[in-house]
Amino acid sequence: MSFSRGKSYSPSESYEYTALQFAARKGSIEQIRYLIQNGTELNTGPDSALHLALRKQHTEIARILLQAGAEHECRDSHGDYPIHIACTLGLVDIVRVLCTLGCNLEIPNAKGLFPLHLASKYGHIHVIRYLCSAGCNIDVRNADNIRADITALKYGHNNISELLDRLRATGQRDIFARQLVPTSKAAITPSLRLLGNCGVGKTSLVKSLSAGLFSTLFKRSSSSQSNKCEYKYRV
């Protein structure tokens, strides 16, 4: 099966894609699975099937290819590794898989940009969080000797710059990084109820609590039944 690469992608080359590359670019999951099961070569060409799938944001196909053993530490014709593409496009699920496979987070692309810089440039804070929890170097500098937090500021992503600054603060990095690790556990939701007749001081107590240290932790809902008032607070 042949496919001529257009000028918008690579101006100087035209060559035959393998069936796997073509399926990856088109997003054909069933064909990808069929080809893998029949032992097709996974890493053909300067732009592998994995690179092509990632550039088209076919994340399920990229995941299948990675699970099948596709090479994830190689450059494509643009000088990007899979981690660079995933960070540029904000594909956090693929970033997670690549980190699990031991992907090198401290390698620049052909333009001298590291994964952290690419995610910072394009505003993907969810990717930034995962890279930091995976232990990337937040002080790494690109080819222009610029840190990722400065890159974030340049492109208007102040939230990312602030996050990286907090991680850089002495004594806070390890603690804060642990808080960034994704979890599937449900949040605990304790409740506090104040029961009693109206006029016994519950409202005054509530106002005192709300004005203090826990003001942001309480949300009020109220209901009334006959001559009783009930206040329920959720953390």
Region 27-35 average pLDDT: 97
Mean pLDDT of the chain: 79
pTM value is 0.70
> Which range among 151-165, 170-184, 190-204, 209-223 has the greatest average pLDDT?
151-165
Q: Which amino acid is at 162?
A: E
Distance, in Å, from the CA atom of 51 to the CA atom of 32, rounded to the nearest integer, reads 14
Distance, in Å, from the CA atom of 85 to the CA atom of 95, rounded to the nearest integer, reads 9
CATH numbers and ranges of domains, the chain: 19-180 (1.25.40.20), 191-234 (no CATH)
Question: Is residue 80 a contact partner of residue 109, using CB atoms and an 8 Å limit?
Answer: yes
E strand or H helix at 204: helix 202-210
Question: For the segment 117-138, what is each residue's pLDDT rounded down to a tens digit?
Answer: 999 999 999 999 999 999 999 9
Task: Provide the angle, in degrees to the nearest 10, between the axes of the packed helices 173-180 and 158-168.
Answer: 130
Return the pLDDT at 200. Answer: 59
